[in-house]
A = this chain, B = another copy of it.
């Protein structure tokens, strides 16, 4: 997606060789016009898959998921963070390891909002090691829902998440794939 590559090159900031900050338009300040274009692109890429629900995880996935959901005319469900083990039986729980924070967190979705009849598109801002997406897939599996695809705004090809998920046959569509940020220079695939 050329529009997104341009924004990343003009406004993104590389920290070290691994962290790309895009918090001026994607995940702290949010350009909703850009999200509109992102939503249209996801709709094109996942057309014909009979998606009836979009699943994401708080917080940075929510805006992208909501504006994408307008294109599909389906509801969004977002997994919440910070559950503990004693949450009762009403919640599907999944573990997510955060490399940024160096710790496990539990994400959860109420059993009321996901079930065997759901055909789900997972949406998230970044795909690196795939921890968040795998956690969300774990919730879909517990619910008996169908995973129709994963839409990612920015994938880092030099981390293993995308490769491992594609090897499992998951339909991942990443709008931008970054090959390397060596020396602070962003190279796209």
Contact = CB atoms under 8 A, between A and B. Distances in A.
A76 B32 contact: yes
Nearest to A31: B75
A110 interface: yes
A23 B113 CA distance: 9
Contacts of A76: 29-30, 32, 63
Contacts of A161: none
Interface in A50-102: 58-59, 62-63, 65-67, 69-70, 73-78, 80
Contacts of A33: 73
A28 interface: yes
Tell me the number of copies of this protein.
Answer: 2
A22 interface: no
A18 to B, nearest CB: 20
A112 interface: yes
A175 interface: no
Nearest to A63: B66
Contacts of A75: 25, 29-32
A177 interface: no
B30 A77 contact: yes
A59 B113 CA distance: 17
A29 B77 contact: yes
Instruction: Please list the 7 inter-chain residue pairs (A to B) with the smallest Cβ-Cβ separation, ordered nearest first.
Output: A58-B59, A63-B66, A62-B62, A30-B76, A29-B113, A32-B69, A59-B59
Interface of A: 23-25, 28-33, 35-36, 58-59, 62-63, 65-67, 69-70, 73-78, 80, 109-110, 112-113
